[in-house]
Structure 1
Amino acid sequence: MDTQVIEKCRAVYLTAEDLRIAASILYNAYYDDPFFIEALGKDNEVSYQEKLRAAIREELHTLWKQEQALIGFFDGERMLGVACVMTQDVPLGEDRVWDWKLKMVLSAGWGSTQAIMKKDSHILQHLPNRHCGILQFIAVSPNEQNKGFGRTLVNAVLSWCDEQPDVDGIGVFVTKDAHYELFINTGFEQLSSININNVEGDLLFHRP
């Protein structure tokens, strides 16, 4: 990919109007994610699609309302990718806010809601302290992959992290070898291998 093309792109915080497109990018990226397949159940394809759309939508809107870092990567007005970071200043795991729980139960079911909360708890248990952030989502639009945008988006997240005086680092749970290599090559280190809802993965961590 031409570095001049990457350099003219910009990473900015998402607005409310950007959330719909961000949700679409995340849906395509996480459609075959092992955790969501296990948590939401893919026996019924239509049901899985509906649950995944709902889970991503509710997570995005909740993070937006809680003023967490939702970072969009743009070429002009066109969104190429998105990354969502949450800190432990917001309720996670079993302490998730009640309206998120209610909407998730109604759209994805109680079992799926529990699985997502359990994922939060597992990650929190392995982070160094309560001042660490979690990279909840990161994705590049399907048509823009394999162009170097993924690495640039990760670096934008790390820049955000390094600029936060109250954030001691950022963790991310990965289940695919390609994602593992991407994060390791951009300065993350492995904290531990963990099993979340029968899905094996690695918790990687970046220290500012």
Structure 2
Amino acid sequence: MHRTSTPAPDLYALKAIHLDVDDLNVAASILYNAYFDDPVLNQIFHAENEGYDSRLRSAIREELHAFWDSGQTLIGLFDDHRMLAVTCLAEPGAGFTPGKMWHWRVKMMLTAGLFSTRQLIEKEEKVLAAMPASHFHMIVLIGVHPDYQHAGLGHILTGAVDSIVTEHPDSEGVGVFATIPSYEKFFLSCDFQPVKALEIASISGTILFKTRPVDS
């Protein structure tokens, strides 16, 4: 029996839209698939032990709800009413990091345990400290539906991020931490520049940054 391939979406018909709370479950599913093989999360949530998928799903869900509760930017790429890609973008100067939110800490400790929660907070602090700016946007999570990989959706989504950053006069640019070589290659193709290598939970990754264009 032959598997029918998913038809490519019409890229010109896609719309980047701010998510509603009702979109968070679909966003969590897309991000779960995007980060299932992330080596840092594999290490933090003990991928070798039973229940890894449940721990990862719960962690991503709590991260999304922390973003929503704090009023951060959640952007989805939609084909009509179907979400095909999503990103979580932390705003500059908002003082938002999940580790600072007590209810996030409590829920994450119940989900992943104290040690894993501490490692997540350490990851967050190290990544922020390594950025070459003090007032910037941060791509915390980004993912494309597995049926629509390598179709140009990631570039459209980062284009939407670029527009948000450009319209924010106080932002110096946007940063991201990539631990998978293909993700790093993708961000380099989007004109991000490598800043430095960073080791978290014994896993090496790369800090990348894209400077906001100077107003002419």
Q: Which runs of 4+ in 1 moved over 3 A?
A: none
- What is the match of residue 59 of structure 1? 63
Cα distance 1:130–1:202, how it changes in 2: closer, same or farther (>3 A)?
same
1:93/1:119 contact within 8 Å kept: no
Matched-pair identity in %: 38
Q: Does 1:111 align with 2:115?
A: yes
Q: Is the 8 A contact 1:93 1:118 kept in 2?
A: no
> What is the match of residue 179 of structure 2?
175
Secondary structure of 1:43's counterpart equals coil
2:50 pairs with 1:41: no
The answer as to whether partners of 1:93 and 1:121 remain within 8 angstroms in 2 is no
* Largest Rg, 1 or 2: 2
Any gaps of 5 or more consecutive residues in structure 1? none
1:1-208 aligned at under 5 Å gives the runs: 5-45=10-50, 47-87=51-91, 88-92=93-97, 96-208=100-212
Q: CA RMSD in A?
A: 1.7
| Amino acid paired to 2:41 | F
Asked if the contact 1:29/1:140 (under 8 Å) is kept, the reply is yes
TM-score between both structures, scaled by the size of structure 1: 0.93
Q: Is the 8 Å Cα contact of residues 132 and 171 (structure 1) preserved in structure 2?
A: yes
Q: Alignment length, in residue pairs?
A: 205
Is contact 1:131–1:167 with CA below 8 Å preserved after alignment?
yes
* Aligned counterparts of 1:100 and 1:93: Cα–Cα separation in 2: 6
- Matched residue type, 1:23: A
- Is the alpha carbon distance of 1:198 and 1:10 closer, same or farther for their aligned partners in structure 2, counting shifts above 3 Å? same
- Larger helix proportion, structure 1 or 2? 1
Give a deviation string over 1:111-167, Cα, whole Å, max 9, x none.
Answer: 111111111111111112331121110000001111111111111112211111222
More divergent stretch after superposition (196-205 vs 123-132): 123-132
Structure 2 segments unaligned to the other structure (5+ residues): 1-6
CA distance in 1 between partners of 2:147 and 2:97 (Å): 33
Supply the distance in 1 between the matched residues of 2:150 and 2:67 (Cα, whole angstroms): 28
Deviates more, 1:61-70 or 1:124-133: 124-133
Determine the C-alpha separation between the residues in 2 that align with 1:162 and 1:113: 33
